[in-house]
Structure 1
Amino acid sequence: MDRDSIDHNIVKFHNGTLDDAYNFLGSHLVYDEGEIVGATFCVYEPYAINVCVIRDGCNPCSMNKISDEGFWFLYLPSVNEGDKYQYLITTQDEAEIIKSDSFAFYTTENKSVILDIEKYYEWYDEDYMHFRKNRNYQEEPLVIYELDINNWKKSITTYQDLSKELIPYLIEHGFTHVELISLLNEGILAPNSQFGEGKSLMSFIDECHKHNIGIFLDFPSAYFEDVIKGITKNNQNADLSEYLSILVSALSFWCLYYHIDGIRLNNLSDIIYFQGDISHGINLKGLKFLRTLNDRLSNLHPDILLIAGETIDFPNVTRRVCDHGLGFHYQWDNGWMKDILDFFEEEPLFRKYLSYNLNLSLMRPFSQKTIIPLAHTMFNIRKTALIKRMSGDLTERFQNLRVLIGLLFTYPCKKLLYMGNEFAQMNDYYSSYELDWYLYQYSPHILYNNYIKALIKLYREEKALYETDHSKSGFIWINQDHEEHSVFSYVRLSKNHKEILIIVINATPLLYKEYKLGVPYQGEFKEILNSNHEDFGGNHIVNDGIIATTEENYLGFKYTLKLCLPPLGIIVLKRTSN
């Protein structure tokens, strides 16, 4: 890289418009007639008085300070791909710090590795990448399996192991995407080296794409800490341009070189509001930073989903920046998670006093485009397994859990399920090194897992459950205020309104043998899912055969159905003819 190019990159870095800092910072091999002759090293250390490159078996080599702002540069001959190095930083108080390169493409045991990222891996997902460019996620099923690679299964020691065991598991259950937690812990560009090199991770992602499984990256909130410090209440004049160049470049790198399908960002309230508190007011500098970040990423990678990993109390989170939004495609609805869990943790006979929780959660899906998560954040403070948070004895807990998960998959939004909840994890999270895989030998957990598979299959097959997730025209309340009986029902419609589903939830332990339900549509209906079915661990209180409406006004609807509602159950009816 010549001096003019270096100076040009420095200017762009400082004004926040350098989108490919990974081509400038870090280490890069130099070729002459196809042969490696050396490598360049570049690092940004504005508060250092000296910086050296330390290679294994070599003496420290001092770098040249090439800008007053703090860029350091060095060319070294006789360097090979795979060589390891670190930086020795001398601070202004003459303390010495040894650290890895945050812009290295691979880091292991706190040592960065020199490699040529352009020749690192040959991809085979061209068809998938072409298909992705034309996707319309809003009208497609989206069900995400959230996985912490450190705690899923102790037999997983490499990305190859993950590919062999996880991908068949995802296919068996029907998940469309997997979100990886703990993937970044050794630099902003380097994957977790505990499971192998970056090329092994690329191969895993390639294999996922081969089976039409997308990959979401959980971007650690730690990388926003400097941004948050820069926009504290007393630092409104802080310049965030450099952080913008760093973060846009890093996220763009993962999109380009690892072919990820989406990015979840966290700690967003701390950026939007002073001290992360809405009562302290909006931080205009932070708001501009976030909008610019999302706008740049969307322009660079229009087929990548940007997900706000928290519920932000701010309008238009999921509208485009040009439409005065924040520029996210989706945001997590953590409020839904809290309201629903509060409801199902309560004893059924007292749930009528918490009916507003269920009503509230089901009345707000259309203000933003949301993902409803039964996610890891649910266990950050209370690490209790989900089934242990349900009320009642073990049988009733499974009944309640089936209703909760049924609500998740019939509710109008996209879905996310944290690992272990597909078979009812029993032990508290992080109390061991892996999930409770031994539970698959016990009938209640096997049957519950059958229920999860059936739900995901139903969700992916029925257009009414995903095509109109973000449109009021695809959702009709039937009885949202049936507080005394804690029975709730609603209609889901496909985009053309030809496919009609009716969902009925009985959140009490009472059996209703002839429950009268007013409905807005005439016709014949068939029960296509019942959480009380014997295949799912229930006692098989179901509605067999065809159920026809009668022309009888009831609670404001022209037609009526008579149903058998199992205790602590959810049923899904589909209109088969009108």
Structure 2
Amino acid sequence: MLTDQDLYLFGEGTHSRLYEKLGCHWHNGAAEFAVWAPNARAVSVIGDWNGWNPEADPLQPRPDSSGIWEGRSTQAQRGQAYKYRIESQHQGYRADKADPYGIYAEVAPANGSRIWSLDYDWGDADWMAQRARRNALDAPVSIYELHAGSWKRPDGQMMGYRELAHALADHVLACGFTHVELMPVTEHPFYGSWGYQTTGYFAATSRYGSPQDLMFLVDHLHQRGIGVILDWVPSHFPTDEHGLQYFDGTHLYEHADPRQGFHPEWNSSIFNYGRGEVSSFLISSALFWLDKYHLDGLRVDAVASMLYLDYARRDGEWVPNRYGGRENLEAIHFLQKLNEAVYREHPDTLTIAEESTAWPRVSRPTSTGGLGFGMKWNMGWMHDTLSFMQKDPLYRQYHLGQLTFSLVYAFNENFVLPLSHDEVVYGKKSLVEKMPGDAWQQLANLRALYGLMWGHPGKKLLFMGGEFGQRREWAHEGQLDWEQAAQPGHEGLRRALAQLNHLLRTEPALHELDFSPEGFEWIEANDAANSVISFLRKPRGGGAPVLVVCNFTPLPREDYRVGVPQGGWWQELFNSDAADYGGAGWGNWGGREAEAPGAHGRSHALRLTLPPLATVMFKPTQAERPAFATRLEGDGLGH
């Protein structure tokens, strides 16, 4: 039952759980309906039980000025499809609309809503009790980005949510990731949009099963110790007639002026964030997924397109704000309200912005003028790093600044380092095919890149297929090349990644201070002649640091001196050139002794063998120098 307080918050734009009030709810053997259509002349529910007859179940407008129409049917049954027949007051408009607050949809290409309930017996209490620690800013976070329909297709058929749950959990744990990020599973009419053209902001796509099936997937991952993040798209919506577009014969959810309400890049509609009812709709959608599906966070898509009024527009094609600027003030306010609501109701979850510009304070509190996100994708790091890695090693010496520049701004935001789906589609080549050289060198380059990425400050995100170096670009109509994944060099890459994820979890230096300059220290950022960089990652409280050294040429470098802050034995934690990973086997026999005199302004130095196209990591230990290392060095076999 809608109360006066509900209606006030709805209009104000701060109602965070409208899904409890609007839409279809199954109560005591009857279906109760409520839909917002303030400019309608008549609204009725049409569905399976009444032969889709608009005369059978008319709704009545509330006596207040809310624009909400209500009614109930004792003939409707759970699981039956329905829509709203909307007859507008304007221009004779009439359309059959899916329920904006519908929680289940027909399987595409059908597009009606279904009467349903969200009862489910959750078994993830242990995860929910500890997820504040798992999602904390100082926690190890390594995200596996996934498109559910094209991950694996046994017998050519897409896996359902329940079938996916077991296979995905096994794979994610074998690779060592801490979280899965689902590309949008909100209902969408066009499969080729990958879910980013959403019509059902409260409905899990029925392509892979029922709402309870998705709950099972999340529940199972949680019980296996894996967090789940959902891609969520409040930036735009498609113009399909059954959706939100022109809902009651007026531009209800979108701006009327196409310079504000139409997205030229995606041929979609842009929400009117300044309208309170629209803001309440979107905030309620965000909270719905956290409330009902136990999701651990939302990655908010295309935030830059929301922030700038001139995004993807030429001069004269956009409307300035009231101060004459290009900032979308209403969208800024909406994003701040959104993040305040999420962190107020679920402080143990995450919001992550895909924001591709230098907009300031994206991941800073709203109380200090920030947008309030927990984290932000570091698109600059991604572009610069991939640009460097794509270059022939002969020329990398002239572009080392592309690798080091990210540390100039690395702590301005709480960054996630993304190698996402957008980098491996539409002629961009897969990650391994971006790498120069022959097949062996390509895999070596990719292992070195992952070593750098996992050593670099920031949380990690990798799109599916990248864990084993799939050579084909991603295609949503197929599946990953699992036969290729079993080939020695590609399986070696997966083992290297699993070791990096293990170190991320077990070495505090690699995750505790991801967002603080106190956790990072350059050793050498300017050895362009050798295309070598080295740095320390440090934990809080003066614990053991981790040394990261990268050699981006195919030449092994013996007796390469790297300054370190203390003497003693430095254990080799990771070597991307290890034979077990498909490398050539150059290395340091498990570690090196740090000796005086020092180098790079430090008291001691390590004399290292740097493998070709490789990243190595070391950590000081209290252990004695292993006898075999002394013997092998004495025999001149240091590599």
Task: Give the C-alpha shift of residue 396 in structure 1.
Answer: 0.9
> For the structure 1 residues 237 and 56, does the alpha-carbon distance in structure 2 shift closer, same or farther, using more than 3 Å as the test?
closer
Q: Following TM superposition, by how much is the alpha carbon of 1:209 offset from its aligned partner in structure 2, in angstroms?
A: 0.9
Q: Aligned residue for 1:110?
A: 111
Q: What's 2:74 paired with?
A: 77
Structure 1 gap ranges (5+)? none
User: For each residue in 1:427-471, what CA deviation from the matched residue of structure 2 results, as whole angstroms up to 9, or x when unmatched?
Assistant: 111175111111033211121111111221122111111111112
Where 2:409 maps in the other structure, the secondary structure is: coil
- Which of 32, 38, 48 is the matching residue for 2:40? 48
The structural deviation recorded for 1:153 is: 0.9
- 1:192 alignment partner in structure 2: 205
1:315 aligned onto 2:381: no
Residue 288 of structure 1 corresponds to 333
Q: Deviations over 1:246-276 (max 9, x none)?
A: 0111111111110000001122222222223
CA distance in structure 1 between the partners assigned to 2:74 and 2:504 by the alignment? 58
* Cα offset, 1:7, TM superposition: 4.6
Moved more, 562-571 or 429-438: 429-438
Instruction: Determine whether 1:208 maps to 2:221.
Output: yes
Could you tell me which amino acid in structure 2 is paired with residue 375 of structure 1?
S
Counterpart in 2 of 1:263? 298
Which of the residues 514, 518, 521 maps onto 2:559? 514
Q: AA paired with 2:27?
A: V
Summarize the Cα distance change of 1:55–1:508 in structure 2 as closer, same or farther, 3 Å threshold. Answer: same
**Cα offset, 1:297, TM superposition:** 1.8
**Do the aligned partners of residues 101 and 546 (structure 1) sit closer, same or farther apart at CA in structure 2, a change above 3 Å counting?**
closer
Residue in structure 1 matching 2:23, options 12, 15, 26: 26
Q: Distance in 2 between matches of 1:206 and 1:329?
A: 23
How far apart, CA to CA, are the structure 1 residues paired with 2:486 and 2:308?
A: 49
1:134–1:336 distance in 2 versus 1, CA, 3 Å:
closer
Q: CA deviation at 1:223?
A: 4.6
What's the CA shift for 1:41?
Answer: 0.8
Counterpart amino acid of residue 106 in structure 1: Y
Structure 2 residue aligned with 1:65: 61
Counterpart check, 1:94 vs 2:139: no
2:395 partner SS: helix
SS state at 1:107 partner: coil
TM-score by length of 2: 0.84
Structure 2 counterpart SS, 1:496: helix
Offset, 1:193:
0.2
Amino acid at match of 2:368: D
Equivalenced residue count is 568
Which residue in the other structure is 2:629 paired with? none
The CA distance in 2 between the partners of 1:354 and 1:291, in whole Å, is 38
Alpha carbon RMSD of aligned pairs, Å? 2.4
Matches of 2:47 and 2:217 in 1, distance apart?
A: 30
User: Partner of 1:49: helix, strand, or coil?
Assistant: strand
Q: Distance in 1 between matches of 2:98 and 2:521?
A: 56
Match of 1:451 in 2: 496
Inter-partner Cα distance in structure 2 for 1:546 and 1:452 = 20
Local SS of the residue matching 2:140: coil
SS of aligned partner of 1:371: strand
| 1:271 and 1:290 in contact (8 A); partners too | no
Separation in structure 2 between the aligned mates of residue 217 and residue 237 of structure 1, nearest angstrom: 23
Secondary structure at the aligned position of 2:547 is classed as strand
Aligned to 2:11: 14
Q: Report which stretch shifted further, 73-82 or 277-286.
A: 277-286
Amino acid at match of 1:25: L
8 Å contact from structure 2 (residues 308, 327) kept in 1:
yes
Q: Does 1:408 align with 2:409?
A: no
Matched ranges for 1:229-268 at <5 A: 229=255, 239-268=274-303
Contact kept? 1:530, 1:572, Cα under 8 Å: yes
Q: CA deviation at 1:39?
A: 2.1
Aligned equivalents of 1:371 and 1:99: distance in 2? 38
Aligned letter for 2:468?
F
Moved more, 555-564 or 194-203: 555-564
Q: TM-score by structure 1 length?
A: 0.93
Looking at structure 2, the residues matched to 54 and 255 of structure 1 have their Cα atoms a distance apart, in angstroms, of 30
Equivalent pair of 1:268/1:312 in contact (CA under 8 Å) = no
Q: How many Å separate the matches in 2 of 1:237 and 1:492?
A: 44
1:231–1:286 contact (8 Å) kept in structure 2:
no
Q: Contact 2:11/2:276 (CA < 8 Å) preserved in 1?
A: yes
User: Which range moved further: 83-92 or 481-490?
Assistant: 83-92
Q: How does 1:128-143 map to 2 (within 5 A)?
A: 128-135=127-134, 137-143=136-142
Flag the 1:250–1:237 CA change in 2: closer, same or farther, 3 A: closer
Aligned pairs for 1:335-346 (under 5 A) are 335-346=380-391
Contact preservation (8 Å) 2:537, 2:547: yes
Aligned match of 1:569: 614
What residue number does 1:172 align with? 174
| DSSP 3-state at the match of 2:512 | coil
Does the 8 Å contact 1:383/1:429 carry over to 2?
no
1:172 partner amino acid: A
Kindly report which structure 2 residues correspond to 1:551-566, keeping only aligned pairs within 5 A, or say none. 551-566=596-611
User: 1:439/1:497 Cα in 2 relative to 1: closer, same or farther (>3 Å)?
Assistant: same
Instruction: Please tell me the residue identity of whatever aligns with 2:105.
Output: T
The match for 2:430 is: 385
Query: In 1, are the aligned partners of 2:233 and 2:300 still within 8 Å (CA)?
Result: yes
**TM-aligned CA deviation for residue 229 of structure 1:** 4.2
Aligned to 2:507: 462
Equivalent pair of 2:136/2:348 in contact (CA under 8 Å): no
